[in-house]
């Protein structure tokens, strides 16, 4: 919970930015497809059960250089990552951040390509 008005306002602005960069979710089979805008990246995660799981994943993703915002959606089993302006977080580092939270990335979709195994970079 934000401690003051400034932190609360920053949180609102980050959420608005995420909403502006990532569009709606579309159901597609067992995984849910997500349409991305800009440099956003979506990582589907196996077994994200609850808000605590989502928070644990988000905390690890925020440690990756170049990450501006993370929105982990429990219902969709996906983490949406918004990079900082002019930055391009390592796809491998994002994948490994989720692994370090003891979760298994299933698929990563970025503006450059889709990964079903750990990226080399």
What predicted TM-score, i.e. pTM, was given to this entire model?
A: 0.72
CATH of domain 34-115: 3.30.70.100
Please answer whether residues 85 and 67 qualify as being in contact, where contact means their C-beta atoms are separated by less than 8 angstroms: no
pLDDT given at position 27: 32
Low-confidence stretches of the chain (pLDDT < 50) are: 1, 20-31
Both ends of the chain: CA-CA distance in Å?
A: 35
pLDDT given at position 28: 37
Domain residues of the chain, as ranges? 34-115
Q: Can you list the positions of beta strands (E) in the chain?
A: 22-28, 31-36, 41-46, 67-73, 78-83, 104-109, 114-115
pLDDT given at position 70: 95
- Contacting residues for 64 by C-beta, under 8 A, at least 6 apart: 89, 90, 93, 94, 97
How many Cα atoms are found within 13 Å in the side-chain-facing hemisphere of 65?
A: 3
- Contacting residues for 24 by C-beta, under 8 A, at least 6 apart: 35
């Amino acid at each position: 919970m934000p401690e003051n008005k400034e932190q609360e306002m920053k949180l609102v602005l980050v959420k608005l930015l995420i909403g502006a960069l990532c569009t709606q979710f579309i159901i597609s089979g067992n995984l849910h497809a997500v349409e991305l805008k800009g440099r956003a990246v979506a990582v589907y995660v196996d077994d994200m059960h609850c808000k605590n799981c989502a928070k644990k994943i988000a905390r690890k993703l925020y440690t990756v250089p170049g990450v501006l915002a993370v929105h982990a959606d429990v219902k969709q089993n996906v983490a949406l990552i918004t990079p900082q302006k002019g930055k391009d977080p390592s796809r491998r580092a994002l994948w490994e951040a989720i692994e370090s939270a003891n979760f298994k990335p299933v698929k990563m979709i970025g503006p450059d390509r889709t990964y079903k195994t750990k990226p080399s970079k």
